[in-house]
Protein backbone atom coordinates (compact mmCIF):
# COMPACT_ATOMS: atom_id res chain seq x y z
CA UNK A 1 0.00 0.00 0.00
CA UNK A 2 1.11 3.55 -0.78
CA UNK A 3 0.39 6.46 1.55
CA UNK A 4 0.20 10.05 0.33
CA UNK A 5 0.87 12.79 2.88
CA UNK A 6 0.09 16.36 1.81
CA UNK A 7 2.31 18.84 3.68
CA UNK A 8 1.89 22.60 3.70
CA UNK A 9 4.57 25.23 4.27
CA UNK A 10 3.22 27.69 6.82
CA UNK A 11 4.50 30.33 9.27
CA UNK A 12 6.28 28.49 12.08
CA UNK A 13 3.91 27.95 14.98
CA UNK A 14 6.28 29.74 17.38
CA UNK A 15 6.17 32.96 15.38
CA UNK A 16 3.64 35.64 16.29
CA UNK A 17 2.15 36.68 12.92
CA UNK A 18 2.12 40.37 12.04
CA UNK A 19 -0.64 41.86 9.93
CA UNK A 20 0.52 44.03 7.02
CA UNK A 21 -0.01 47.75 7.61
CA UNK A 22 -2.53 47.97 4.75
CA UNK A 23 -4.62 45.10 6.18
CA UNK A 24 -4.35 42.98 3.02
CA UNK A 25 -2.83 39.94 4.73
CA UNK A 26 -0.14 38.60 7.03
CA UNK A 27 3.43 39.82 6.57
CA UNK A 28 5.57 36.88 5.42
CA UNK A 29 8.79 38.85 4.81
CA UNK A 30 11.72 37.37 6.77
CA UNK A 31 9.41 35.13 8.77
CA UNK A 32 10.45 31.59 9.74
CA UNK A 33 8.39 29.04 7.80
CA UNK A 34 7.96 25.37 8.71
CA UNK A 35 5.86 22.33 7.99
CA UNK A 36 2.29 22.67 9.27
CA UNK A 37 2.38 20.89 12.69
CA UNK A 38 -0.59 18.61 11.90
CA UNK A 39 1.22 17.52 8.72
CA UNK A 40 4.30 16.55 10.74
CA UNK A 41 1.97 14.31 12.72
CA UNK A 42 0.62 12.89 9.44
CA UNK A 43 4.16 12.14 8.16
CA UNK A 44 5.03 10.49 11.49
CA UNK A 45 1.92 8.31 11.37
CA UNK A 46 2.62 7.23 7.79
CA UNK A 47 6.17 6.25 8.81
CA UNK A 48 4.86 4.23 11.77
CA UNK A 49 2.41 2.39 9.49
CA UNK A 50 5.28 1.63 7.09
CA UNK A 51 7.54 0.53 9.97
CA UNK A 52 4.77 -1.85 11.08
CA UNK A 53 4.99 -3.45 7.61
CA UNK A 54 1.58 -2.19 6.50
CA UNK A 55 2.72 0.23 3.79
CA UNK A 56 5.51 0.14 1.22
CA UNK A 57 5.87 3.71 0.08
CA UNK A 58 5.20 7.19 1.47
CA UNK A 59 4.82 10.09 -0.96
CA UNK A 60 4.88 13.64 0.43
CA UNK A 61 3.08 16.26 -1.65
CA UNK A 62 3.09 20.03 -1.33
CA UNK A 63 1.33 22.76 -3.29
CA UNK A 64 3.19 26.04 -2.93
CA UNK A 65 6.20 28.17 -3.88
CA UNK A 66 9.63 26.77 -4.84
CA UNK A 67 10.61 27.02 -1.16
CA UNK A 68 7.99 24.41 -0.28
CA UNK A 69 10.67 22.00 -1.55
CA UNK A 70 12.37 22.56 1.85
CA UNK A 71 9.22 21.36 3.60
CA UNK A 72 9.20 18.28 1.36
CA UNK A 73 12.88 17.64 2.18
CA UNK A 74 11.93 17.71 5.86
CA UNK A 75 9.28 15.05 5.18
CA UNK A 76 11.88 13.01 3.25
CA UNK A 77 14.38 13.38 6.11
CA UNK A 78 11.77 12.15 8.58
CA UNK A 79 11.23 9.04 6.43
CA UNK A 80 9.01 9.71 3.39
CA UNK A 81 10.30 7.92 0.26
CA UNK A 82 9.69 10.50 -2.46
CA UNK A 83 8.03 13.84 -2.95
CA UNK A 84 6.04 15.88 -5.44
CA UNK A 85 6.08 19.69 -5.44
CA UNK A 86 3.23 21.36 -7.30
CA UNK A 87 4.86 24.70 -7.73
CA UNK A 88 2.91 27.95 -7.75
CA UNK A 89 3.36 31.38 -6.20
CA UNK A 90 -0.39 31.94 -6.14
CA UNK A 91 -2.45 31.52 -2.99
CA UNK A 92 -4.16 28.15 -3.38
CA UNK A 93 -7.48 27.58 -1.65
CA UNK A 94 -8.46 24.22 -0.10
CA UNK A 95 -10.76 23.27 -3.00
CA UNK A 96 -7.96 23.73 -5.54
CA UNK A 97 -5.53 21.75 -3.33
CA UNK A 98 -8.14 18.99 -3.02
CA UNK A 99 -8.58 18.89 -6.82
CA UNK A 100 -4.81 18.60 -7.35
CA UNK A 101 -4.63 15.86 -4.70
CA UNK A 102 -7.50 14.04 -6.41
CA UNK A 103 -5.50 13.99 -9.66
CA UNK A 104 -2.40 12.70 -7.85
CA UNK A 105 -4.48 10.00 -6.12
CA UNK A 106 -5.68 9.00 -9.61
CA UNK A 107 -2.06 8.52 -10.73
CA UNK A 108 -0.63 6.95 -7.59
CA UNK A 109 -3.58 4.94 -6.26
CA UNK A 110 -2.70 5.16 -2.54
CA UNK A 111 -4.51 3.09 0.09
CA UNK A 112 -4.45 6.05 2.44
CA UNK A 113 -4.12 9.81 2.20
CA UNK A 114 -3.23 11.25 5.61
CA UNK A 115 -3.64 15.02 5.86
CA UNK A 116 -3.46 17.42 8.77
CA UNK A 117 -6.84 18.36 10.22
CA UNK A 118 -6.09 21.99 9.42
CA UNK A 119 -3.39 24.28 8.20
CA UNK A 120 -2.48 26.75 10.96
CA UNK A 121 -2.30 29.67 8.54
CA UNK A 122 -5.79 29.65 7.04
CA UNK A 123 -7.37 27.39 9.71
CA UNK A 124 -9.73 26.14 6.99
CA UNK A 125 -10.12 22.51 8.09
CA UNK A 126 -11.51 21.70 4.64
CA UNK A 127 -8.98 20.01 2.36
CA UNK A 128 -9.29 16.44 3.68
CA UNK A 129 -13.08 16.54 3.70
CA UNK A 130 -13.19 18.03 0.18
CA UNK A 131 -10.76 15.40 -1.11
CA UNK A 132 -12.87 12.58 0.36
CA UNK A 133 -15.98 14.08 -1.25
CA UNK A 134 -14.32 14.56 -4.66
CA UNK A 135 -13.06 10.96 -4.61
CA UNK A 136 -16.21 9.50 -3.06
CA UNK A 137 -14.00 7.77 -0.46
CA UNK A 138 -14.62 7.26 3.27
CA UNK A 139 -13.07 9.78 5.66
CA UNK A 140 -11.94 9.61 9.28
CA UNK A 141 -11.21 13.13 10.48
CA UNK A 142 -9.47 14.37 13.69
CA UNK A 143 -7.69 11.03 14.20
CA UNK A 144 -6.39 10.28 17.66
CA UNK A 145 -5.51 6.67 16.74
CA UNK A 146 -5.17 4.85 13.40
CA UNK A 147 -5.05 1.05 13.09
CA UNK A 148 -4.82 -0.77 9.77
CA UNK A 149 -6.89 -3.95 9.94
CA UNK A 150 -6.58 -5.85 6.65
CA UNK A 151 -8.67 -4.07 4.04
CA UNK A 152 -9.95 -1.62 6.61
CA UNK A 153 -8.69 1.16 8.82
CA UNK A 154 -10.02 1.82 12.30
CA UNK A 155 -9.87 5.51 13.21
CA UNK A 156 -10.50 6.82 16.71
CA UNK A 157 -11.71 10.39 16.33
CA UNK A 158 -11.59 13.33 18.72
CA UNK A 159 -15.13 14.63 18.94
CA UNK A 160 -16.75 17.10 21.33
CA UNK A 161 -16.76 15.54 24.78
CA UNK A 162 -15.01 12.28 23.93
CA UNK A 163 -13.79 9.83 21.33
CA UNK A 164 -15.61 8.13 18.47
CA UNK A 165 -14.26 5.03 16.72
CA UNK A 166 -15.11 4.41 13.06
CA UNK A 167 -14.09 1.64 10.66
CA UNK A 168 -13.43 2.65 7.06
CA UNK A 169 -12.84 0.46 4.04
CA UNK A 170 -9.57 1.25 2.25
CA UNK A 171 -8.80 3.28 0.22
CA UNK A 172 -9.66 6.08 2.62
CA UNK A 173 -8.84 9.61 3.72
CA UNK A 174 -7.72 10.37 7.27
CA UNK A 175 -6.91 13.70 8.94
CA UNK A 176 -4.72 13.98 12.03
CA UNK A 177 -5.43 15.56 15.40
CA UNK A 178 -2.81 16.77 17.87
CA UNK A 179 -2.67 13.74 20.16
CA UNK A 180 -2.19 11.10 17.43
CA UNK A 181 1.58 10.91 17.99
CA UNK A 182 4.74 12.90 18.68
CA UNK A 183 6.61 13.47 15.44
CA UNK A 184 10.27 12.44 15.36
CA UNK A 185 13.14 14.79 14.61
CA UNK A 186 15.11 14.05 11.46
CA UNK A 187 18.64 12.87 12.25
CA UNK A 188 21.61 14.48 10.49
CA UNK A 189 22.39 11.33 8.41
CA UNK A 190 18.73 11.19 7.35
CA UNK A 191 18.79 14.89 6.40
CA UNK A 192 21.81 14.12 4.19
CA UNK A 193 20.12 11.06 2.68
CA UNK A 194 16.96 13.06 1.99
CA UNK A 195 18.88 15.32 -0.40
CA UNK A 196 19.22 12.35 -2.78
CA UNK A 197 15.60 11.22 -2.62
CA UNK A 198 13.35 11.79 -5.64
CA UNK A 199 11.50 15.13 -5.70
CA UNK A 200 9.44 15.81 -8.84
CA UNK A 201 8.26 19.31 -9.66
CA UNK A 202 4.93 19.86 -11.42
CA UNK A 203 2.46 22.69 -11.92
CA UNK A 204 -1.29 22.87 -11.21
CA UNK A 205 -1.82 22.97 -15.01
CA UNK A 206 -0.08 19.55 -15.31
CA UNK A 207 -3.07 18.19 -13.41
CA UNK A 208 -5.56 20.31 -15.36
CA UNK A 209 -6.60 22.20 -12.24
CA UNK A 210 -7.71 25.84 -12.36
CA UNK A 211 -6.50 27.40 -9.11
CA UNK A 212 -8.22 30.78 -9.60
CA UNK A 213 -9.41 31.86 -6.13
CA UNK A 214 -13.13 31.61 -5.34
CA UNK A 215 -12.79 33.86 -2.31
CA UNK A 216 -11.62 37.44 -1.93
CA UNK A 217 -9.92 38.52 1.29
CA UNK A 218 -11.55 41.81 2.24
CA UNK A 219 -9.53 42.65 5.31
CA UNK A 220 -7.13 41.10 7.82
CA UNK A 221 -6.84 42.70 11.25
CA UNK A 222 -5.02 42.10 14.53
CA UNK A 223 -7.08 40.69 17.40
CA UNK A 224 -8.23 43.41 19.84
CA UNK A 225 -5.60 44.28 22.42
CA UNK A 226 -6.58 43.11 25.91
CA UNK A 227 -6.75 45.91 28.45
CA UNK A 228 -4.51 45.61 31.51
CA UNK A 229 -5.92 44.00 34.69
CA UNK A 230 -6.06 45.63 38.11
CA UNK A 231 -5.22 44.31 41.59
CA UNK A 232 -7.93 44.38 44.28
CA UNK A 233 -7.06 44.29 47.99
CA UNK A 234 -9.91 42.14 49.34
CA UNK A 235 -13.38 40.75 48.71
CA UNK A 236 -15.13 43.96 49.84
CA UNK A 237 -13.09 46.00 47.39
CA UNK A 238 -13.88 43.42 44.68
CA UNK A 239 -17.64 43.68 45.31
CA UNK A 240 -17.41 47.48 45.34
CA UNK A 241 -15.49 47.43 42.08
CA UNK A 242 -17.98 45.06 40.43
CA UNK A 243 -20.84 47.32 41.52
CA UNK A 244 -19.01 50.32 40.15
CA UNK A 245 -18.62 48.48 36.82
CA UNK A 246 -22.31 47.59 36.86
CA UNK A 247 -21.76 43.80 36.83
CA UNK A 248 -22.89 43.07 40.39
P1 LIG B 1 -6.78 23.29 5.44
O2 LIG B 1 -8.02 22.66 4.85
O3 LIG B 1 -6.24 24.42 4.60
O4 LIG B 1 -6.94 23.67 6.89
O5 LIG B 1 -5.62 22.16 5.39
C6 LIG B 1 -5.81 20.84 5.87
C7 LIG B 1 -4.69 19.94 5.42
O8 LIG B 1 -4.69 19.86 3.99
C9 LIG B 1 -3.28 20.39 5.79
O10 LIG B 1 -2.95 20.00 7.11
C11 LIG B 1 -2.45 19.65 4.74
O12 LIG B 1 -2.31 18.27 5.06
C13 LIG B 1 -3.35 19.75 3.51
N14 LIG B 1 -3.03 20.95 2.71
C15 LIG B 1 -3.67 22.15 2.70
N16 LIG B 1 -3.07 23.01 1.85
C17 LIG B 1 -2.01 22.35 1.32
C18 LIG B 1 -0.98 22.69 0.39
N19 LIG B 1 -0.91 23.91 -0.17
N20 LIG B 1 -0.05 21.75 0.09
C21 LIG B 1 -0.10 20.53 0.64
N22 LIG B 1 -1.04 20.15 1.53
C23 LIG B 1 -1.97 21.04 1.87
pLDDT in tens, 221-247: 988 888 888 899 999 999 999 999 888
Does residue 121's CB lie within 6 angstroms of at least one atom of ligand 1? no
pTM of the model: 0.92
Query: What's the CATH code of the domain at 221?
Result: 3.40.50.620
Pairing mode, strands 82-87 and 199-202: parallel
Give exposure, 208-244, as e/b (b: 16+ Cβ within 10 Å): ebebeeeeeeeeeeeeeeeeeeeeeeeeeeeeeeeee
* CA 167–ligand 1 middle distance (angstroms): 24
**Residues spanned by the domain of 162:** 2-245
pLDDT at 8 over 80: yes
* CA 39–ligand 1 middle distance (angstroms): 8
* CA 144–ligand 1 middle distance (angstroms): 18
Number of domains observed in the structure of the chain: 1
pLDDT in tens, 180-219: 999 999 999 999 999 999 999 999 999 999 999 999 999 9
94 within 8 A of 130, measured Cβ to Cβ: yes
Q: What is the pLDDT of residue 84?
A: 98
Phi-psi region of 182 (alpha: psi -120 to 50; beta: other; left: phi over 0): beta
Cα Rg, the chain, nearest whole Å: 21
Phi, psi dihedrals of residue 114, rounded to the nearest 5°:
-110, 115
Does residue 38's CB lie within 6 angstroms of at least one atom of ligand 1? yes
Q: What is the pLDDT of residue 26?
A: 92
Does residue 178's CB lie within 6 angstroms of at least one atom of ligand 1? no
Average pLDDT rounded to a whole number, residues 68-73? 98
SS3 206: helix
Q: CA quadruple 154, 158, 163, 166: dihedral positive or negative? A: negative
Confidence band of 19 (pLDDT split at 50, 70, 90): very high
pLDDT at 60 over 90: yes
Q: How far apart are the C-alpha atoms of 20 and 17, rounded to whole Å?
A: 10
SS3 47: helix
Q: Give the helix ranges, DSSP H, for the chain.
A: 37-51, 68-78, 94-108, 127-135, 188-194, 235-245
Average pLDDT rounded to a whole number, residues 57-81? 98
For residue 215, whether the previous peptide bond is cis, meaning omega lies within 30 degrees of 0, is: no
Q: What is the pLDDT of residue 109?
A: 98
| Average pLDDT of the chain to the nearest whole number | 96
Q: What is the pLDDT of residue 69?
A: 98
Q: What is the pLDDT of residue 247?
A: 80
Q: What is the pLDDT of residue 223?
A: 86
* CA 77–ligand 1 middle distance (angstroms): 20
Q: What is the pLDDT of residue 230?
A: 87
* CA 12–ligand 1 middle distance (angstroms): 15
Does residue 115's CB lie within 6 angstroms of at least one atom of ligand 1? yes
Does residue 94's CB lie within 6 angstroms of at least one atom of ligand 1? yes
Does residue 116's CB lie within 6 angstroms of at least one atom of ligand 1? yes
Q: What residue owns the CA closest to ligand 1's atom 23?
A: 8
Q: What is the pLDDT of residue 168?
A: 98
* CA 84–ligand 1 middle distance (angstroms): 14
Average pLDDT rounded to a whole number, residues 107-119? 98
The conformation of residue 64, written as its DSSP 8-state character, comes to: E
C-alpha of 62 from chain center: 10
Q: What is the pLDDT of residue 214?
A: 93
Does residue 173's CB lie within 6 angstroms of at least one atom of ligand 1? no
The conformation of residue 178, written as its DSSP 8-state character, comes to: G
Amino acid sequence: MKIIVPVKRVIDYNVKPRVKADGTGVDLANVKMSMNPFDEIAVEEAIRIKEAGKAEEIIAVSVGPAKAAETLRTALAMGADRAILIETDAEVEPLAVAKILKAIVGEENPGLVILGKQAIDDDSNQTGQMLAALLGRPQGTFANKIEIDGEQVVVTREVDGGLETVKLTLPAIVTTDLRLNEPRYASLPNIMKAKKKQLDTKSPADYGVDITPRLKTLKVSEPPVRSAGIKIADVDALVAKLKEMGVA
